[in-house]
Structure 1
Amino acid sequence: MERDAWRTSSRSGNNGQCVEVRDRRVQVDVRDSTVPDAGMLTFAPAAWDAFVDTIKGNARRP
């Protein structure tokens, strides 16, 4: 992931409801792309990685 640049989640659909992520090394920011000025959630990198790993693991379950 390119650092400091917002990117759209690869799991976002084409329905206009997208999540954007920005890795700033010391924190990971997450926002709604439809209202980017509404604010963002900020995570420690380890917490974000744990969240993503959990989601990926749950997505593979039947």
Structure 2
Amino acid sequence: MSVQHSKAAVPEAAWTKSSYSTGNGGECVEVAAVSGAILVRDSKRPAVARIAFGSEAWDGFVRMTAGR
């Protein structure tokens, strides 16, 4: 996992809001798939920072949280 502080060119259309985001000022998480990584950001502060996960790490995270 890494934090990206650069403003990499990821089109806004690439970002998908989590189905768990409430949309009323609560937790707003968005994800985007780019070459070799999954990016995660806070939709309320999209330009501040992004967390990048490798594909295997992201798959493990999704499998771990799917049973919740």
Kept in 2, the 8 Å contact 1:8–1:20? The answer is yes
Distance in 2, matches of 1:52 and 1:26, equals: 16
Higher relative contact order (CA 8 A, sep 6+): 2
Kindly, what percent of the aligned residue pairs are identical?
Answer: 42
Distance in 2, matches of 1:25 and 1:54, equals: 23
Q: Give the number of equivalent residue pairs.
A: 55
Matched with 1:9 is 18
Kept in 2, the 8 Å contact 1:27–1:44? The answer is yes
Q: What TM-score does the superposition give when structure 1 sets the normalisation length? A: 0.79
Partner SS for 1:46: helix
Distance in 2, matches of 1:7 and 1:13, equals: 14
Q: Which has the higher strand share?
A: 2
Distance in 2, matches of 1:6 and 1:56, equals: 21
Letter in 2 for 1:15: N
Q: Which has the higher helix share?
A: 1
**Which blocks of at least 5 consecutive residues in structure 2 are unaligned?**
1-10
Residue among 2, 22, 28 paired with 1:18:
28
Matched with 1:53 is 63
Residue among 26, 50, 56 paired with 1:40:
50
